[in-house]
Amino acid sequence: MNINLSDFRMDFNELSARFRENSHVVLLTAATVFLLVAAAALVIFFIFIRGAEQVMVPSVTGKDLSVAMIEMQEKELYPRIQLRYSDRLDDKGTILSQSPAPGSIVKAGKRIELTVSRGIVIDKMENYVGQNIDDVKMNLQALFTSMEKPLIAIGDPPLYRYSPEPAGTILEQDPLPDTAISGPTKVTVVVSRGPEYDRVTVPAITGLSIPEMLARLSDSDVVYDFSARYPEREEKAGTVVSQTPAESMAVPSFSRVSAVIAVPVNAPDGLVYGVFRETLPEYPYPFQIQISAISPMGDRYQLASFRHPGGELSVPYAVEDGTVLVLTILNKEVGTYEIHPEQQTDTADGEE
C-alpha cells in the first residue's frame, strides 16, 4: 500500500479564509466563555467574603458545663474553658461567666470564653488553735487571692485575753476544726495577749554603738524610748550613754526604757545620725515591726526588726544623706521617710 504524504498537507490559506468567514462566531464564543468564568469568580468571591452565618450568643452563665456545651454546639460556637475556684460548694462544674455577653451577634465558629467553677478550695474548717493570728491571716489571704470573696476570713476585731501562750497565739476558734463549709465563713477567734504578769530583766545597753543597739532590739522584751544629744565630757559619739531604769532591774514585759544616744557634732564618717520617731496605734499585743533603709544608690537593707505594743516609737539611725527609711508593720509598708543632715541637728538640739 502506497501512502502519498501530499494528501495530508494542510492548506493554511483555506483555513485562513474559513476563519475570516466565521470570525464573529469565534469571538462570540470566546466572550461567552470569559463572561461565564468572570461570573463564577464573582460568585466565589462574594461567598468567601460573606463568611460564616451570624448567630446570637446564648446565655449559659449559671448552667452546668454539659448543658452549656450542647447550647454552644447548636449555635455552631466553640467554648474556650478557664477553671476558677468559687466560694460555693454547689458551684462546681457550673459556668461563672462568659464572654462575649449573652445576646451578642457573632459569626458561627467563634470561640466563646467560659469560666467554669472548680468548686471551693477546701470543704471543711482547719484547726487554727496554737497558730499566730497574723500568720493565719496572711495564709488565708494567699489561699483565696483569686476568689472574688474569700471563703474563710478571720472576724475583726478578735477577742483578746491574757494567757501563758505567746502574744498573738489563737486560743479558741468558732466554727470548730473539721466543721463542714458550704460558703463564705467568718471565724471568731480568741487571741492571747501574753502572760498578764510576765516580768523581764532590763538589759545593759549603755556603751553599745548604734548598730549594736539595733541588733539587740530583735530579741528584746522591753520598749526603748530613744533620745539624742551631743556628747558631754568623755562620752563617745555614736553610742548609748545612759538608760533608765538601770540594767538588771525586773520590770513587766514591754515596759518602756529610756535610752540616750550621743550623736557627733560633725560626723567624720559622713553619715547622718538621729532618732526616727512615729506615733503608732495602741495594739492589743506587740506587733512585729521592721525599719528598712534604702540608700541613695538604691540598695535596700534591714535596719531593725522588733516587736512593739504601739504608741510612741523611736529608733536610732546612722545612715547616708538621702537615705529613705521604710516602716513596715506586719509585713505591710505604712510609711517612708527621707533622711537629711538638718534632721540630725534638730534632733540633737531638741534633746539638750
- Comma-separated ranges of CATH 2.60.40.2560 domains in the chain: 199-351
Q: Give the CA count within 13 Å in the CB-facing half-sphere of 68.
A: 24
Mean pLDDT of 76-95: 80
C-alpha grid cell, residue 88: 460555693
pLDDT band at 88 (very low <50, low <70, confident <90, very high): low
CATH of span 54-117: 3.30.10.20
Q: What is the pLDDT of residue 207?
A: 94
Instruction: Please report, rounded to a whole number, the percentage of residues in the chain having pLDDT higher than 90.
Output: 42
pLDDT band at 14 (very low <50, low <70, confident <90, very high): low
Rg (CA), the chain: 42
Instruction: Please report, rounded to a whole number, the percentage of residues in the chain having pLDDT higher than 70.
Output: 85
pLDDT band at 352 (very low <50, low <70, confident <90, very high): very low
Q: What is the pLDDT of residue 324?
A: 96
Mean pLDDT of 55-59: 88
Q: What is the pLDDT of residue 275?
A: 94
d(CA 238, CA 227) in angstroms, rounded, equals: 12
**Mean of the per-residue pLDDT values of the chain:** 85
Distance of CA 279 to the CA centre of its chain: 28
- Summarize pLDDT for 166-217 with one digit per residue, the tens: 889 999 999 999 998 877 899 999 999 888 778 899 999 999 999 999 999 9
Maximum Cα–Cα distance across the chain: 148
CATH of span 199-351: 2.60.40.2560
Residues 6+ apart with CB under 8 A from 193: 160, 161, 162, 163, 167, 284, 285
Q: Which residue type, as a one-letter code, is found at position 186?
A: K
- Nearest CA to 63 among 95, 92, 24, 36? 95
- Comma-separated ranges of CATH 3.30.10.20 domains in the chain: 54-117
